[in-house]
Structure 1
Amino acid sequence: MNNDEGILSGIDESDIPFEMELLKSPNDVNLWNNYIDHKHQQLLEATTGSNNDIEFIRILKQSLLSLYYRQFLEFKGIEDWNKFIDYYKKIIKSFIEKSTSNEQIESEFNKILSLIESTDKYNITRDVDYWSKFFLLIVEFKMSISYKFLLSIFRKALNNLKREDHIRIWAIILYHIVKMGNVTNELMFTLYFNYVKYLQNCYKFHINMEEIQENDRIPDLNKTFNRLLEYIETVEQLDIFETFFKSLITPTYLLHFTDSELEIYKKYFDKIIDLAVSKYKDDGNFQRRVKKWFNDIVKKFKDQQSQFTIRYSKYLINIDQFDKSIEILESMMKQSKSIKDFTLLFDSLTGVLEEKLVSVTDEDEFKTNPKLVTYLNKFESLLSNRLLLLNDVKLAQNPNIPGVWFDRIEIMKERRANVNEILACYSDAIVKIIVNKVPYNERNELSKLWIDYAKVYYDNNDISNCRKILEIATNVPWTEIGQLEDIWINWVMIELEFSEKNTGKEDLKHATTVSKHSIEIPQQILQGRVDPDDKNLSVQMKIFKSVRLWSLYLDLIENNKDYKFEQVCDAYEQAISLKIVNGVMLINYSLYLEENEQYERCFGVYERGMKMFNGKSKTIIYEIYLNKILKFWQYLEWDKERVREIFENGIDYFNEEKDLKNLKKNYIIYSNWEMKYGSKMRCLKILQEAILDMNNQFDKLEIYKILIINTIEFKGIQWVIDIFKDAMETISVQIPDYITEIVTGFVTIEVSLGNIGNARNILEYASDNIMEFNHNEEDREKIWSLFKAFELENGNETTYKEMLRRKIYLEKVFVASSPKMDDNSADKTPTRNTDKDSVGFVKSMKGPNFDKEEGEEEDVDTTPINEDAIDLDLDLEMDI
C-alpha cells in the first residue's frame, strides 16, 4: 500500500457493472455483498491458477480492501468496520515490505484514521468498539512501531470516547505496552500513574466496577499500586507518588485493595529504603525523608513498631550509621508495649551487636577502639538484664498488677540487689499502682505488697519505719475490706513477734493496742453524722465491723493480763451489740465465762446464741450448751424442769429444721437423762415420741430397741408385748434386722411367758408378710429357719406339718412371682427345695403316738397309705 496508490485504487473492467449498480443503489446491502463476493472469487482464482502473478494478486487484495472500506464509509456500522479491519489484518503484511520503516507503517495507520475522521458523519470515532478493533490491529505490529505512536493514538482515542469507555482502551494499552522493549521506566510510571488516577475516579463514582472486577487484563488497584512502586526511580517520581499515596490510603479506596493497609505501608516503606540505599545513600535530605516516614508509620501502626524499627535499623547500618541503628533499636525496645515487640527488638539489638563484635578478628583492636568496648559492655548488659527489661514491658502495659511487681522484686533478689534497691522497688510500686485499677484477682496481692514492704524494714531491725509503712497502709483508699484487714492483722503479728524477739517473752501490750485501734468506731459514726449502713462509705469507715479483727482483738485481750474480767466481757458484749459476733466468738465468750466459773452468765450467752443464729451454727451452739448443762446442772442445783425445757427446745428446733439425725440423738440423750435423773415413765414416753418423729426405718428400729430394753428394765417383760406389736406393724419387713430384732425378740418374749400360741401367730404373721413383701432369699430362709426351730422346740407333728404346708403354699403364691425368678418359669408351680429344707422329712405309715403310755402295745394302723403324708423324725439334728 504505497502512498501514491491510495486506499481507493484497484478497480478493473469486471468491476464496472457493480460500480454502475452502486451508483444507482448505494444503500443496497446485497449489492455490496455480491460485489465483495465477486472480488473474493477473483482473488481465489488468481491465487490458485497456474499463472500466479504476484503483482496482480497484490492489486486484487488492495482492491478488495478498498471495497471493504468503501462499504464501511457508506454504512458507518461497527459490523462493516470489523469486516474491514479483519480483512486488513490478513493482508497488511503483503503491503509492508521488510525494508519499510516504522514511519511508513505508522503512516499507513494514520492514513486510515484520517480518512475515517474526514468522512465521519455518524460519529464512529465515538464508539469504543471502533477503537478497540483498531488498537488490536496496531498492537499486532508493536515491534514495528514506536510506543510514542501508540500513545498518540491512545490519547486520540481517550479524547474521543466517554470516560466510562476508557477502561477497555486502558486494558489493551497496559497489557501490550509493557511488552514493548523500548519503553522507559519513566514512561511506565507516567502511564500507570495516570491509569491509577482514572481508577480512583472509577471506584469513587462506581464507574466500570463490573468490568474492572471481571476482566483479567484490567489491572486492579492493588496490581497498579505495585507496578507504580516498581517504576519509581527518582525523587521527583517519589514526590508525585507521595501526594497521590496519601489520597489513596483512605477507606474509600482501601476496600478495593487485596493487601491490607499495613502491607501497603510496608511495601511503600521498603521502596523508600531501597531507593535510599541504592541511589541516595549520601543524600541528607533523603535520609531525613526516610526518618520522617519511619516516625509516621510507627506512630500509625503502634502494634507493628518492632518490624518497622528493625527494617529502619538495617537501613541505618547500610548507610554506615551503626550507632544510630542500635540507638533506635534500644529506644524503641524500651517503649515496647507488648512482649512480642520487646522480644523481636531485643533479639535484633543483641544480634546486631553480636554480629559487630564477631566481625572483629583482632583482639588488640578492642584496646585501640573504645567503641568496641562500649558495644561489648552494652551486649553483656542486655543479656544480663533481659528479665528486668521484660518486666519493664509488662509494667508499661499495666503498672497496676501487683504480681508483676512481685516478679520484679524476685528478679532483683536473684540478682542479689541490696536492700535499698529492693526498698526503692517497693516504693516505686506503691506510688505507681492505682488502687481502684488493680484487677479483681490481684486485690489481695496489693495488700501483701504493702505488708512485704514493711517486713523488709522489720527484717533489717528497723521497726520504726516498719510501723510507719503499715500506718500509711491503713489509710490507703482500699476497695475491699479484706485488704485493710490483712494490713491490721499482719501489723499485730509483727508486733507480737517483735515483742517476743526483744523481750524473750510474750508481751501483748503493743499488739493489743494496734488491734484495738483497728476496730475503733469512727467519730463521724459515733456522733451520728454518718450512716454506718451507707454502702458508699470508705473501707476505713466500715472496718470497725470486721469479724476477723474483732476475733483477733478478743483473743488478745483474753490472754492479756492487763485486761480484767469485766473488760473482756464488755468487749464481747460490744461485739454482740454491733451484730458482728459469729458462732465461734460466742462459744469463745461462753468458754471464757465458764473458765471464770460464771456458769449462769455462760449459759445465758448460749441461750442468746440460740436466738441469734440458725442452721449449723445454732446446732453446734445447742450441742455445746446441752453438754455443759448436763455437766453442771447438778452443781448449780437447777430444777429438772429447766433441763427438760432445754431438751424440749432442742426437739422443737430439730423438728423445725428437719434435722432428723440430731433429732434422734437429742431424743436418746434426753431419754438417758430421764432414766438416770428423772422419771422412768417419762423416759419411755420420750422414746415413744421419738419413734413417731422418725421418718427413717433404721432410726425407728434403733429407738424401738432402746424402748424395749428400758421397758423391760422399768416395767417388766410383760409390758413389751404391745411395743413389739407396734413395731411389727411399723417397721418394714425389708429392714435387714427386722427378723433378728423384732420377730425373734417378740417370739422369745411370748415363749418366755408361756404364750406358745401367740408366738406361733407372730411367726405366721411375719412369714406371710416376709414372703409377700420381702424378696430377699436370705431373709425368707431366715424366717422359715426360725419357724422350724420354734416348732421343733415348742410344737408337735401337727403344728410342724401345718408350718410346712404354710411354707409350701406361700412359696407357690409368692416365690413364683418373685422378681428374682427366671421369666420362663413364672407360670410354673414352685416345688420345695430339699437342699435348703434341712429339717429332714421322712415318709412313714405311722407317726409318733404322743398319747400311748409306757408299756402299752401300739395299735396297728389299717388305714390306706397316704403317699403325700409327711412324717416327722423329731430326733434329727437341725441346722438352723
Structure 2
Amino acid sequence: MLVSKRSHPDSVLKGSTSTTTGVATTIDLYLISEEDAHYEQEILRDPYSSLKPWLRYLEYKAKTGGIHEQVFVFERACKALPRSYKLWKMYLDLRVKHVSSLNPARFQAEYNKVNDCFERSLILLNKMPRIWTDYLSFLLKQCIVTKTRRTFDRALRALPLTQHSRIWALYLPFANSASGETAVRIWKRYMQVHPEDAEEFIELLTEMGKYEEAAQKWIEVLDNPKFRSKAGKSHFQMWSELCDLLVSHAREIKGIDVEKIVRSGIGKFSDQRGKLWTSLGTYWITKGDFERARDAFEEGVTTVMTVRDFTQIFDSYTEFEESVIGTLMEAAAARQEKGIVSEDADFDLDIRLMRFEQLMDRRPFLVNDVLLRQNPNNVIEWEKRVALWGDNKQQIVQTYTDAVAAVNPKKAVGQFHSLWAGYAKFYEKHGDIRQARMIMEKAVRVPFKSVQELAEMWVEWAELELRNDNFDEAVKIMAKATQSPKRSTVDYFDETLTPQQRVHKSWKLWSFYVDLVESVSTLEETKKVYERIFELRIATPQTVVNYATLLEENKYFEESFKVYERGLDLFTYPVAFELWNLYLTKAVNRQIDIERLRDLFEQAVENCPPKFAQVLYLMYGNLEEERGLARHAMRIYERATRAVADEDRFEMFDFYITKSASNFGLTSTRPIYERAIEALPDSEAKEMCLKFAEMERRLGEIDRARAIYGHASQFCDPRISPQFWTKWEAFEIQHGNEDTFKEMLRIKRSVQAQYNTDVNFIASQALARGQAKAGGGGGGGGAGSGSDEEVGSERGDAMAALEREVRAPAGFVAAKDGGGIKGSIRNVAATASAEVNPDAIDLDMDG
C-alpha cells in the first residue's frame, strides 16, 4: 500500500526526480496518493511511447493536485517523452504562470529554475519557434541583458531564416530598450536582412546622438533606387531630412562633404533651390564660417530662377547679416563701457554695415535678374531694369546692349520695338543724333515677330527726324520703308515671309507716310502716295474719305467724286452705305446736274440692303422735292415703302402719307393708307387703321371711318387691345346712334368669340389663368380673366355670334371674306343713303 502524500516543494521545483523505469524513489512516493494508483499503473504498462496516459494523468492532477504534484508528473512525463512538444509547452506554460506574479529581482532563483526548464526543453526542441519566443519573452521580463542577447542570437542560429521574423519582432524592441552599442549592433544585423526598415534605424541613431552614422545610412538609402519608404515619404522628403540632419548637427558630422551633397540636391530639385541654398548657408553659419555662408547666400540669390526662392534666400541672408551686425554692436557697446578701443573691430563693423546697406540697395536689381533668368525675352523687365539705373548712363547703355542681344524677336514678351526705340531716344536725349540713327538703322533690319512692330519701328525713326526738324529726311525714310515693286503680289498675312518683305503693305506705315507728305510736301506728291495706296489695294474707308476731302479742299471736286466711286468699287455694305451717304451729300451740296444726281441715287438704291435703304430713299425723295417734281418724289417714297426693312416700313408709310397730304391733300392719302394696312403686320396695321379713321373723321366721312374701325376690329381682341375699342366707343358716342353703337357691341362680341375658339389663344389664356391662380391665390384677373363658366358660355355663343355676323350691315366686311379695307369702304359708300340721323342717338345700354 502507498503511503499518504507529503510536501517536499524544494526538491520537486528543482526537478530532482530519480525515476529510471517509471518507479518512484522513497522521496517521490510522498507525492503519490492512493487515488493516483490507477494512473500510475496505466503509465507503467508503456511509459515511453504513449502520450495519452500522461495527458489523462496531468488533467486529473490539474483538477485535484497542487503545483508540486503537477510539476512532479510533468518532470516524469518530459523525461519519458523528451521530444513531445505538447508536454513541454504545457509544462513551461505552467512554470511561467506560477512565477509571473513574482518580482524577478527578488525571486531571481525561482526565475532561474524556469530558465533551466526552458534550456532543457530546447536541447531537443530547438527548431520549435514557439518555445524560443516564449523563452525570450520570459527573459525580457528579467533584467539579464547579456543572457537575453545571447539567447536571441542562439534562437536566430537555431531557427531557419523563414522563422526569423518572429524572433526579430521581440529582438528589436529589446535592442531599443538596451540602447547603446548593443542596439546599434543588433540593428546592423537586422539591416542585412530587412533593409526596408532603414528609417527606424536612422531614427534610433539620431536619438542616440550618432548623427554621422545616421547621415551615412541616409546616404545609403538615397543611393539605392529600389528603396521605398514604409512611411510613404517621397525621395525629396527623405533627401530633405538628410539635409536637415547635416545642417542642424554640422559640428558633430565631420566625415561627410555636406556642401557637395547640398549642391547635388540643388541641381536635382529645381523647385526647392531656395530652401537648399538657405540650408547650405545655415550649415556654414553653424560651423562658424561666416564668409563661406555669405558666399553661399550670394550665389543663391544670383542663380535661383523664381521670386519665391529668391525671397526665401534673401530673407535668410538679411537675417544673417543683421544677427552678425547685432553681435558686433553688442561687443562694441561692451568695449565702450570698459573703455577699450579697438580700431580693427570698429572697422569690421563699418564694413559689415556698408555691405548690409549695399545688399538692401541691390534687392530690386536682384529681383529683376531673377525674372530675366526666367525669361530673357521679357521686354518689360528689360525696360524696368533700364529705369532702375536712373541716371547711370554707362549702365543704361550696357543694359540696352545686353537686352537687344538677349531677346529673341520671335519669342519676345511685350513690344520689342519699344526697346530699340528707347535705346535710340536715350542717345537722342543726350544729343548724339548720329548714334541714334545708327541704332534705328539696325532696328529696321531686325526680324520682328510681326509686321506691326516693324512698321512701328519705321514710324519711330521718322518721328526721330521730325523731332529734330529734318522733314525731308523723315520723308525719305518713309519712302524707303514703303518701297515696293510696281505690282506687288505679296500677301500681308503670309507668315512664311519676313516682316521686311511684307511691311510695304502695312496700313499704319502708309497712313503715317501720307499724313507726313500732306503736311510737308506738295499736293501732287500727296496724290501720288494716295494713288499708290489704291494700287496696292490696302486702302481703307478712312483713306477714301481723307483723299476725297483733300481733293475737295483743293477745289478738285470731280476728282474727289471719282475717289468716292473707286472706294465704292472696293467696299461692300455696310461700309458702302457710309461712302454713299457722304458721296451723295457732297454731290447734292455741289448742285450738279439733276439727271446725274438721279443716276447716282438709282445706283445707290439698286443693290442696297433693306437695312440701309431708308436713309438713301429719304435723301432721294428730298432731292426730288427740292429740285425735281413732287410726283417723282411720291413715286420714290412709294418705292421706299417696298424696299425698306420690315421694322422701318411703318415709319416709311407714315412719312409717305405726311408728304402726300402736304403736297396733294388728305384725299390723296387714302390709297396709301389702304396699301399700308394690307402690307403691315396686324399690330402695326391696327395703328394705321386708327390714323386712317381719324383722317376720315376730320374729313367728315363718318361712314368711311366706321367701316375702317370695323375692318380693324378683326385683329383687335377686346381683352388684349382695349384701347382700340375705347376709341371706337368714343367715336360712336360722338358720331353714331343707337343702332351703330349696338352694331359696334355686336362686332366686339363676335371678335371676342372668334378669339375664344382659336386653339392657340385658348391655350395661352389657360396658361395665364393658371399662373395667376398660382401667383395670386385665385384672385380676379384683368380684362382677359373670367370663370370657366363664362369662357364656356362664350364658346357656346360663338355659333350664334357668327350667324349674327352674316346679318351684319354692309358697313363691315371681315378680312377673311377677301374684301379687305377697300371692300369695306366701298360698301359704306354704296349704303351712305341709309345713314341714321346722329341727333336721334339713344344710349340705352339695356336695349
Say whether the fold is shared (TM-score over 0.5): yes
Amino acid at match of 2:130: D
* Counterpart pick for 1:186 among 181, 186, 191: 181
Which residue does 1:559 correspond to in 2? 519
State how 1:357-756 maps to structure 2 within 5 Å. Answer: 357-359=325-327, 360-361=329-330, 362=332, 367-369=343-345, 370-413=347-390, 417-438=391-412, 442-444=413-415, 446-499=416-469, 508-521=471-484, 534-561=494-521, 563-565=522-524, 567-632=525-590, 634=592, 638=593, 640=595, 642-655=596-609, 658-659=610-611, 662-696=612-646, 699-712=648-661, 718-731=667-680, 734-735=683-684, 738=688, 741-749=691-699, 751=700
Deviations 1:153-190 (A, max 9, x none): 222322333333322211111123333xxx35222122
Report the equivalent of 2:220. Answer: 244
Letter in 2 for 1:336: V
Is 2:37 the counterpart of 1:75?
Answer: no
**Shift of residue 31 of structure 1?**
0.9
1:760 CA displacement: 4.5
CA contact (8 A) 1:746 1:759 kept: yes
Question: Relative to 1, partners in 2 of residues 1:68 and 1:679: Cα closer, same or farther, differing over 3 Å?
Answer: farther
Could you say which residue in structure 2 is the equivalent of 1:332?
300
AA at the equivalent of 2:744:
K
Partner of 2:284: 316
**Superposed CA RMSD:** 3.9
Partner residue, 2:234: 260
CA shift in 2, pair 1:777/1:41, >3 Å: closer
Distance of 2:384 and 2:574 partners within structure 1: 43
Distance 1:432 1:587, change over 3 A: same
Query: Secondary structure of 2:574's partner?
Result: helix
Deviation at 1:778, TM superposition (A): 3.4
Task: Report the AA paired with residue 43 of structure 2.
Answer: L
Instruction: Tell me by how many angstroms 1:74 deviates.
Output: 4.3
What amino acid is the match of 1:388?
F
Equivalent position of 1:63 in the other structure = 72
Instruction: Please list every run of 5 or more consecutive structure 2 residues that lacks an aligned counterpart in the other structure.
Output: 1-9, 757-764, 766-781, 795-835
The CA deviation string for residues 230-289 of structure 1, in whole angstroms up to 9 with x for no partner, is 346386x468636633444x2x32343333333323333343445542x46xxxx64x62
Cα distance change, pair 714–487 in 1 and its aligned pair in 2 (3 A): same
Q: Secondary structure of the residue that 2:483 maps to in structure 1?
A: coil
Structure 2 distance, partners of 1:107, 1:274, is: 51
Q: Alpha carbons of 1:395 and 1:173: their partners in 2 closer, same or farther (altered >3 Å)?
A: same
Give the 3 Å change call, closer, same or farther, for CA 592–337 of structure 1 in structure 2.
Answer: same
Q: Deviations over 1:680-725 (max 9, x none)?
A: 433222222221233436x333333443344456555544332233
Letter in 1 for 2:363: R
Deviates most, 596-605 or 570-579: 596-605
Q: Is the 8 A contact 2:634 2:656 kept in 1?
A: yes
Q: Name which of 202, 206, 224 aligns with 1:229.
A: 206
SS in 2 for 1:823: coil
CA distance in 1, matches of 2:189, 2:669: 118
Counterpart amino acid of 1:390?
Answer: V
- Using CA pairs below 8 Å that are at least 6 residues apart, which structure has the higher relative contact order? 2
Summarize the Cα distance change of 1:821–1:674 in structure 2 as closer, same or farther, 3 Å threshold.
same
Letter in 2 for 1:784: E
Instruction: State the distance in 1 between where 2:236 and 2:118 align.
Output: 50
Is residue 357–residue 372 contact of structure 1 (8 Å, CA) maintained in 2?
yes
Contact kept? 2:221, 2:227, Cα under 8 Å: no
Partner Cα distance (1:613, 1:451) in 2? 36
Q: In 2, distance between residues paired with 1:763 and 1:99?
A: 128
d(CA) in 2 for partners of 1:244 and 1:509? 78
Partner of residue 168, structure 1: 166
SS in 1 for 2:126: helix
Alignment partners' CA distance in 1, 2:421 and 2:230: 59
CA contact (8 A) 1:221 1:256 kept: no
**Residues 689, 564 of structure 1: alpha-carbon distance in 2 compared, 3 angstrom cutoff:** closer
User: Structure 1 unaligned runs (5+)?
Assistant: 48-56, 204-219, 500-506, 792-798, 831-868
Q: Which moved more, 1:343-352 or 1:104-113?
A: 104-113
Q: Alignment partner of 1:615: what SS?
A: coil
Given that residues 514 and 529 in structure 2 are in contact (C-alpha distance below 8 angstroms), is that contact kept between their aligned partners in structure 1?
Answer: yes
Report the Cα distance in structure 2 between the residues aligned to 1:532 and 1:274, rounded to whole angstroms.
65
Structure 1 SS opposite 2:786: helix
- Percent identity, please: 21
Q: Look up the match of 1:794.
A: none
Contact 1:647 1:670 in 2 (8 A): yes
The whole-number CA distance in structure 1 between the counterparts of 2:715 and 2:561 is: 51
- The answer as to 2:746 corresponding to 1:809 is yes
1:377, distance to aligned residue in structure 2 (A) = 0.8
> Contact 1:388–1:408 (CA<8 Å) still a contact in 2?
yes
- Counterpart in the other structure of 1:131: 132
- TM-score between the two structures when normalised by the length of structure 1: 0.75
Q: 2:221 and 2:604 mapped to 1: Cα distance?
A: 88
SS of corresponding position for 1:479: coil
Q: Which amino acid aligns with 1:761?
A: A
Distance in 1 (alpha carbons) for counterparts of 2:64 and 2:841: 146
Alignment match, 1:301? 269
* One-letter amino acid of the structure 2 residue matched with residue 393 of structure 1: V
Does the Cα contact within 8 Å between 1:512 and 1:557 map onto a contact in 2? yes
Q: Which residue of 2 aligns with 1:155?
A: 153
Tell me the CA shift for residue 772 of structure 1.
4.0
- Give the superposition deviation at 1:64: 4.1
The 3 A distance-change label for structure 1 pair 109 and 477 is farther
Distance 2:188 2:273 in 1: 30
User: What SS does the aligned partner of 1:178 have?
Assistant: helix
Query: In structure 2, the residue corresponding to 1:775 is in which secondary structure?
Result: coil
Which letter maps to 1:664?
Answer: Q
Whether the aligned pair in 1 keeps the contact of 2:17 and 2:75 (CA below 8 Å) is: yes
Displacement of 1:774 after TM fit?
A: 8.6
Q: How does 1:704-853 map to 2 (within 5 A)?
A: 704-712=653-661, 718-731=667-680, 734-735=683-684, 738=688, 741-749=691-699, 751=700, 757-766=703-712, 768-769=713-714, 771-772=716-717, 775-789=720-734, 791=735, 799-813=736-750, 820-821=782-783, 823-824=785-786, 827=790
The number of residue pairs the alignment matches comes to: 743
Q: Aligned partners of 2:665, 2:548: CA distance in 1, in Å?
A: 44
**Contact kept in structure 2, 1:294 and 1:308, CA below 8 Å:** yes
Q: CA deviation at 1:582?
A: 1.4
What amino acid sits opposite 1:649 in the alignment? Answer: Q
For residues 533 and 275 of structure 1, do their structure 2 counterparts lie closer, same or farther at Cα, with a shift above 3 Å needed? closer
Distance 1:522 1:196, change over 3 A: farther
Q: 1:740 to 1:63 in 2, by over 3 A?
A: same
Write the distance in 1 (CA, Å) between the matches of 2:515 and 2:363.
49
Is the 8 Å Cα contact of residues 634 and 660 (structure 2) preserved in structure 1? Answer: yes
Q: Give the Cα separation in 2 of the matches to 1:386 and 1:2.
A: 90
Q: 1:116 aligns with which of 113, 117, 122?
A: 122
